[in-house]
Chains A and B, each alone.
Chain A
Amino acid sequence: MGRAWNRHILRRWIRTRLLLGVFSALSAFAQETHVGNLTGHAAAGKQFYRRFCIGCHGPFGDGNGENAPWIDPKPRDFTSATFKCRSTPTGMLPTDQDLYNSVARGFTNSNMPHWDSLTRHSRVDLLAYIKTFSARWQTDKAGDVLQIPAEPPITIQSIAHGSELFQKLECWKCHGQQGRGDGPSASTLTDSRDNPIRPYNFAAGSDDSRFKCGAENQDIYKIFMTGLDGTPMPSFADVIQPDDAWDLVHFLRTLQVNRKSKENDALRTAGGKIPKVETKDAAPATAPPAQPDTKPPGAEK
């Protein structure tokens, strides 16, 4: 009787586990994305993943595709559901729109091309399939979308304050005083998978240079406030106010010395020098004030 009962329990347990496994697999495969009026389905996206993504991101989405050993930076590991480019707070899942934008935009300084040659429907299907690689997409929800206030006017005062914040927040430790990605900590940085990672070099590139998560000032603002999850770049949402973040954006644009911008125009108008800001509560700078070592285009001597 006891043995028969145990067998009965064991059978029920196996049956339950099997059902749960099947249900879990099916629910993952029923994963959806919603971008605008489009709904993507994982089942349809699988073929696109296998066609376009598998070489780098691997058959299991863990970033271990056949090409992964040869490329730097390494492909994203979708199983961790950690994404750099988000409009949501640090540690939270991105929105479907964030993922959609990333796929369409591609990532500069990496092997990831822009995929806007795929139809919009293909892309949302593809994203739905990518979301099957991590259970987080079934248990967690995307965070609240960051509200970006209107950009204040670009002035030399804004740039000067941004320069001060660059020191105060110790951005220079990684990015270097001239924003060349050569700060004293730069060589020690690693990402969440312990792969070496380089800070962004603002001085490289020219008019068509862009950041990993976009090319507009709003995109840089978003990076401050959300951080780049999986990298040493933290979120400053709890540290600085929106106006401060905008000032920092304006200053960082002046580090792009080969790029035509309103910020560089403002700097040129000011004679190519960033004035010191007299603030009462500013922490003393721990390093020399940041100054672009190359004057912006057209700067007067």
Chain B
Amino acid sequence: MQICVFEPRGDRGRSAGTVGLWAALILGAFAFSSNQQAHAIPAFARKYGMPCSACHEAWPKLNNFGQVFKDNGYQLGNDKDSPIYHEPSYWPVSFRITPNWHRENTNRVAVDQAATGVQGVTTQGFDLSGLDILTAGTLMKNISFLLTPSANSSAQFHFESAWVRFDNLLKSPWLNVKMGKFELDNVLSEKRILSLSNNGGLYQIYHFRPFGDVGAAANPFGIGDNQLGLEVMGHSRNSYTRYSVAVLSSTDGNVGLPASNGYDVSLAGSQAFEAGSLGLQRVGAFAYFGQEPTYALTSGGNPIPGAGQGNKSFMRAGMYGMWYLKRFDITTMFTHASESAFLATGTASNAILPAGARDPVWNGVLLESHFTVSPQFILVNRYELIRMSQQALPGSASTPPAPSNQGDLDALTFGARWYPFMHSRAGFAIHNEYSIVRSRGIFQANSTAPFQDSTSNSVFVGFDFIF
């Protein structure tokens, strides 16, 4: 069996020789837990006989060829796309899970046994990530699908994705229609994130909500979450130009219409351009206009599912650039967001807002860089910064007064992924990561104690495999 196809010219021995060194470094290194639900699908690699690196700069991060493949409905555009051209035994299914060791530390936790009622808490140990069962491909030429039964680490399943897509309608790549539960057209995809720890395994910038905003319990919206709805998207043949318009149920992807029966709208577009030997550069923008109920109709005091009332709006918008300098790349993103004061203060729309309440507004900046040493080794670094520009309530509304920067967040993540082999049958990465998140003024030991910062950090070492 050819294990290391990227070392064809006598380098294999050297590569094998470094395994022990790497293993020693890694086992002696950091610690990690995972909430990733990432997409990297060896079923495609098996179908087309390409190594993971064809579609992924380092899986699960897509390169532009992978983006075109995805945009084209998991099709390469040749006569091998339709499943009838493949062996009847071919089954487009992949499994991904990450056995890991992780360590979590939070500097301030309310602890009954502590003399002051507050102390830092550290947990650590061996663990499992969730499981993704990725089934995807084509039902026939130009009809594609993705179904992802996904479980948390205790095997409680849900459908992370489930959609069917009609591709290349009117024989044009500019018209594709998809319905079901799917990821929004985030080119910086949280489903293909290269960090897996509790703190680093998500984009804070995609999920941030102001302090005190508990929202409707059934709808903790995050733009990185998969949503239920219908999407129309299009792209140029090489996906340099892309657009997406989607209408979505206001449920944050939760099935059964648990609270809301409203609709949201998502818009996204991007344009790529070549910069000589530096690589492909891309700029883009997105906007999400959503709504959430502020109270529910009840029956016998119990909320009636799907009968949320008094919808109030929220908005997320952002623009980004993906800049390549050969093997080094950096993604820059700026986001702007706001939401109704009713949502931010948990006030029903038929009630009176607290005195001084106003719509909270915040901005975010993300810098994520990668150095792709080779298709088998990538270094990752990310820094996120979120700043409240307008709080929902003035600081004086609480006792003691809340700081003006309450909720401001800084997150730093860095790590490395090493892929000991690269072929078209399975994927395996040894993943090392450290992540730290600091939130300003969100911890209060008791109702009269001052607001303090909360810092948590994660260390994660995992064997990330997919087959």
Contacts and interface: CB of A to CB of B under 8 A. Distances in A.
Interface of A: 44, 47, 50-52, 54-56, 59-60, 65-67, 70-71, 106-122, 125, 207-208
Contacts of B50: 52, 55-56, 67
Nearest to A122: B279
Contact of A67 (B8, B49, B79): B49
Q: Decide if the interface of chain A is mainly helix, strand, loop or mixed.
A: loop
Contact of B8 (A47, A59, A110, A120): A59
A71 B50 CA distance: 12
B78 A54 contact: no
Interface of B is mostly: loop
Interface stretch (B63-71, B118-126, B453-461): B63-71
Contacts of B424: 55, 66-67
Given A47-B375, A111-B78, A121-B274, 5 more contacts: A54-B5, A66-B423, A66-B424, A67-B49, A116-B238
Nearest to B240: A117
B6 to A, nearest CB: 5
B280 A113 contact: no
Contacts of A109: 78-79
Contacts of B279: 119, 122
Contacts of B237: 114, 116
A52 B277 contact: no
B29 interface: no
A112 B78 CA distance: 7
Nearest to B279: A119
A109 B239 CA distance: 23
20 contacts: A50-B5, A50-B6, A50-B375, A52-B65, A54-B6, A55-B54, A60-B8, A66-B5, A66-B423, A110-B78, A110-B80, A111-B49, A111-B80, A114-B76, A114-B78, A114-B237, A118-B65, A119-B280, A121-B277, A125-B277
Contacts of A207: 171
B78 A51 contact: no
A291 B77 CA distance: 31
Interface residues on B, range: 20 to 34
Interface of B: 2, 5-6, 8-9, 48-51, 53-54, 64-65, 67-68, 76-80, 171, 237-239, 274, 276-277, 279-280, 374-375, 423-424
A38 to B, nearest CB: 9
A29 B65 CA distance: 25
B346 to A, nearest CB: 47
B172 to A, nearest CB: 11
Nearest 8 pairs between A and B by C-beta?
A: A67-B49, A59-B8, A113-B76, A117-B68, A119-B274, A51-B53, A117-B65, A55-B50
Contacts of B375: 47, 50-51
Nearest to B277: A121
A111 B48 contact: yes
B64 A118 contact: yes
A34 to B, nearest CB: 15
Contacts of A108: 78-79
A208 B8 contact: no
B350 to A, nearest CB: 53
B65 A55 contact: no
Nearest to B375: A51
